[in-house]
Amino acid sequence: MSIPKVTTFLMFNGNAEEAINLYMDAFEDAEILSMVKYDEESGEMAGAVQHAIFRIKDQVLMAIDNINGVDIEITPAMSLYVTVDNAMEMERLFSKLKSGGAILMPKTEMPPTFKEFTWIVDRFGVNFQLALPEEN
């Protein structure tokens, strides 16, 4: 497995596996490449994601669970920009990713570039910009 030299790395507050499973369900072309969890001998950390590598479309991402005891929020200043293939994919991703999260920018047309565009934050704090190009 080849990992790009620059890779998005997400740190979750104890729910990395749940977030990754949401992405596996939401994106048709997604897979978990590896996931290592803390074992039972790790005490309170047992079951937490020590390191995960997963792919959404052609993008490789990494994730861990924050185990330092201080929750750290993911900022909307960083988002995952996803160019969708068609209106059906836009609706599926919008519906699944906004569930329990928030809509930061409602679906809107943005001519001449986008037939549809939206910005949402999922229930884990990860921001997604979903864009359906005009040519689709």
Indicate the CATH number of 8-65 among 3.40.920.10, 3.90.220.20, 3.30.720.100, 3.30.750.24.
Answer: 3.30.720.100
Positive or negative: CA dihedral 92, 93, 97, 103: negative
CA–CA–CA angle 18, 77, 126 (5° rounding): 10
Mean pLDDT of 24-31: 97
* Domain boundaries defined on the chain: 8-65, 79-133
Q: What is the pTM of this model?
A: 0.92
Q: Would you state the pLDDT for residue 130? A: 97
Which CATH class for the 79-133 domain?
alpha beta
User: Rounded distance, CA 96 to CA 74, Å?
Assistant: 19
pLDDT in tens, 59-111: 999 999 998 889 999 998 999 999 999 999 999 999 999 999 999 999 999 88
Residue 112: cis peptide before it, omega within 30 degrees of 0: yes
